[in-house]
Structure 1
Amino acid sequence: MDVSLLHDIAPFSTEQRAMRILLVDDNESMVELSATFLERELDDVETETYTDPVSALDELTDGAYDCVVSDYDMPVMDGLELLTAARERGIEIPFALFTGKGSEEIASRAISAGVDEYLQKGGPEEYPVLANKVSNLVEKHRAETHMRRGFLAIESAEEGIGIIDGDGVYQYLNEAYAALYNRNRAELIGEHWDVLYPDDEARRFHEEILPQLEAEGSWRGISTGVTKTGELVPERLVLTRMDDGGHVCIVQELTEVDALRAEVELKDRVLDAVGVAIVVIDPSKPDNPVVYCNEAFEALTGYDAAAVEGRNYRSLYGPETDPETVADIRAAVDAGEPISTDIRSYGAGGEPFWAHLDIRPIRDDDGALECFVGFYRAADRDGDADSA
């Protein structure tokens, strides 16, 4: 996987605290000199010096320091033995061997032991080199640490998270993503995303969703995937476009309530497409307020949902609305009965329009009234519904 893709997933933070360096050298003047030069060469650095490697090892707890700079030739425990002991304790911070006793043999042993940097002591000109190498080691280690933490978070997330390249091929996905479709990761890495969607849904992606993703940089909504055995998976999907043309996918299976809402949204899209304006009225609240309207209603009346919801449905009536028709509608609503009529209404700008109105009561399984649904369709001045 191209690790550069992860920069578009989340901005893993970098450490802002001071860089803490542990210096170990049995020569007290030399270790103090090293600390002085590092503090001079590096910004925002703290140093701790030890002449006894055993005591230094006792101080090496996880997270206490960002890097160790150690001499090689020391009594009781040399630099490589210090490194081995630290690694056995699970201390994985960078380790630089800064020694005055250099040889090909020591260099070879240092590399085999896993030393991150090997430098020989010299004059003052060596300290800028040491400082640069220490700074690079710490920066690299911090970045890798945050990356690992980020991956652990992604891997353990309940949401499915996947990365798709510019050709639509899965480059990465976590276990939750694959499990949603009753698959494992090995089956999906290298496959095109359309293997997880029925043909009609794949067409919707190509014709509607992906163009919006390209234009706006993101898309979120309801979609329907398919498992390996052909079972449909109602899902909530969030797509975010990356600079390289690919995108990040976050997916969750819908709950039963979410699935019902998705079904309502689908029906709304169908009714919007045929130009039927819909309002839902709640009879359990004072003055029977509108609690929902669809896009077709907004287009017909000029009102947006925020301006209508919470108001009585009679807010569309005006001075030339027939009072007898209004009385008939109110009587039907009060009685919990359906009504169908033509009515002169008024839009958000005060302009009158004729509409054919159907109001239907919606009841639960026990017959209790839950709400009214009003269907508006534009009509001509003679009251005939427009053919659309």
Structure 2
Amino acid sequence: MGGVDILHVDDDKGLASLTADLLERKDSRFNVVTAASATEGLQLLSDLSPDCIVSDFEMPGIDGLEFLQAVREKHSKLPFILFTGRGSEEIASDAISAGATDYLQKQSGTEQYELLANRINNAVTRNRSEQKLRETKEEYAAVFENARNGLLLVDVEQDGFRFRRCNSRVLEFTGLAESELIGKTPQEALGYENSRAVAGAYRKCVAMRETITYTVTLTHPVGDVVHEVNTTPIIRDGEVEQLVVAFTDITERHAREQKLREERAVIQQALDALDEPLFVTDIDGRLKHCNHRALELTGNTEETAVGTPITALFPDEERETIADAVDDALRTGRTTITASLCLDSGQQQRYEFRAHSLTDLDNNTAGLVILGQDVSDT
């Protein structure tokens, strides 16, 4: 804990000065400023921003309890210790009810100042910890609410799960009202079919005790939504007590990817319908794709072919020629060469290969497409 600024209010200036001196001797971190009345104390309060107030009870004009009430109107959490020569259970009760942090009766001897110093230290330490916790919670709440992902806090109960909290993105992604979700079980909020998928993932997360990632399609008031989800367990005392569920709506992306997969499937069927072998390479001349005829002739599968240098499909004596042809096609955009393709049977077959360069979206050369035509009978 760093320095502690203390405002001490007491109409007995001699006692106030003595108290300040003894407190600063008891703890070198203490810096005590005195005021001779509650009115002066209130004037100093805004300028000093003290970490703690120590106040007498019986003072002319505004007494200690009235001073406390005035402080609490603007500083609800500021530590306030009533340090008074007049002691009774009634005063102590009134002080605590009015919001005093602590109550201490003045006594003879210097031991009371050590006790007062301890009370101040404890009150300030606790207040700073609580302030830090409040700030952390506020930061967490701001991050939680402003996250781009939908965020759900889910309680893990003995017989299931219950939604504890959500941010506005959850409501946007689902079309649900907060009252339809928070405090509800998955089945109450999402319906039977949706809840089966959701609760199944939650149970898996609890069992594995680690973050799981998955994609799930749920039916919401806004329609069918594809969620990409990360679910993370919160473990306390060895038990999974809550889950943090972060998800985003990838419905449009999923639809685009599905459309792309369908288009690729159609293109692949068209390429596989060719009677001639077709190869696609990268800029290093390694195979990226082959049609069905090319795989059939060479005895490869898609898995064994991908990454293989295209030169490996030709006899040793022709590989340098094939490599030169690949370089020429990458440089000029196209080339034609006749060469012997090594077949799965161990034989060779002459093909005329026409190579054309391929470009990426930035118009950079990305590889070659090579189509062979059987010329063994010519």
What TM-score, normalized by structure 2, do the two folds share?
A: 0.59
Does the aligned pair in 1 maintain the 2:218–2:227 contact within 8 Å?
yes
Other structure's SS at 2:118 match: helix
Task: Give the whole-Å Cα distance in 1 for the aligned partners of 2:342 and 2:103.
Answer: 89
CA distance in 2, matches of 1:343, 1:176: 62
Where do 1:264-343 residues align within 5 Å? Answer: 316-317=308-309, 320-322=312-314
Match of 1:227 in 2: 220
Report what 2:83 is aligned to: 98
More strand by share: 2
Q: Does 1:58 align with 2:51?
A: no
* 1:158 and 2:146 are equivalent in the alignment: yes
Deviation at 1:121, TM superposition (A): 0.6
Percent of pairs identical after alignment? 27
Q: Is the 8 A contact 1:322 1:343 kept in 2?
A: no
Task: Name the aligned partner's letter for residue 163 of structure 1.
Answer: L
What does the per-residue CA deviation read over 1:64-83, in whole Å, with 9 as the maximum and x for residues that have no partner?
22221111112232212221
Counterpart code for 1:149 = E
Alignment partner of 1:79 is 2:49: no
| Structure-2 separation of matches of 1:261 and 1:62 | 62
1:119 Cα shift? 1.4
- The answer for unaligned runs of 5 or more in structure 1 is 1-15, 268-280, 292-299, 302-312, 336-340, 345-360, 375-388
Secondary structure of 1:61's partner?
A: helix
User: 8 Å contact 1:237–1:252 — kept in the other structure?
Assistant: yes
Q: Deviations over 1:350-386 (max 9, x none)?
A: xxxxxxxxxxx9999x9x9997899xxxxxxxxxxxx
Contact 2:285–2:310 at 8 Å: present in 1 too? Answer: no
**Paired letter, 1:249:** V
Q: Secondary structure at the match of 2:54?
A: strand
The Cα of 1:330 is off from its aligned counterpart by 8.5
1:42 and 1:322 map into 2 onto residues whose CA distance is 88
Between the aligned partners of 2:114 and 2:132, the Cα distance in structure 1 is 27
Alignment partner of 1:169: what SS? strand
Partner of 2:34: 49
Structure 1 match to 2:19: 34
Give, in whole Å, the separation in 2 of the partners of 1:198 and 1:186. Answer: 18
Look up the equivalent residue of 1:69 and give its one-letter code.
V
1:55 is paired with a residue of what secondary structure? helix
Q: Distance in 1 between matches of 2:79 and 2:183?
A: 35
Consecutive unaligned residues of structure 2, counting only runs of 5 or more, are 263-279, 289-302, 335-340, 345-356, 370-378
User: In 2 relative to 1, CA 31–238 (structure 1 residues): closer, same or farther, beyond 3 Å?
Assistant: farther
- Which letter does structure 2 place at the counterpart of 1:134? I
Identify the residue that residue 198 of structure 2 maps to in structure 1: 202
- The equivalent position to 1:176 in structure 2, one of 143, 168, 174, is 168
Structure with the bigger percentage of helix: 2
Which 10-residue stretch deviates more, 151-160 or 197-206? Answer: 197-206
Name the CA shift for 1:30/1:161 in 2 (closer, same or farther; >3 Å): farther
Corresponding residue for residue 381 of structure 1: none
Give the distance between the partners of 2:163 and 2:47, measured in 1 at CA.
Answer: 33
1:249 aligned to 2:247? Answer: no
SS in 2 for 1:114: coil
Change (3 A) 1:150 1:188: farther
Work out whether 1:139 is the aligned partner of 2:125: yes
C-alpha separation in 1, matches of 2:245 and 2:368: 35
Q: Structure 2 vs 1, CA of residues 101 and 207 (structure 1 numbering), >3 Å: closer, same or farther? A: closer
* Count of residue pairs the alignment pairs up: 299
Are 1:22 and 2:7 counterparts?
yes
Counterpart position of 1:110:
95
Largest Rg, 1 or 2: 2
Cα contact 1:165–1:245 (8 A) shared by 2: no
Deviations 1:215-236 (A, max 9, x none): xx33456554553565425345
Q: Is the 8 A contact 2:4 2:31 kept in 1?
A: yes
Would you say 1:191 and 2:184 are equivalent positions?
yes
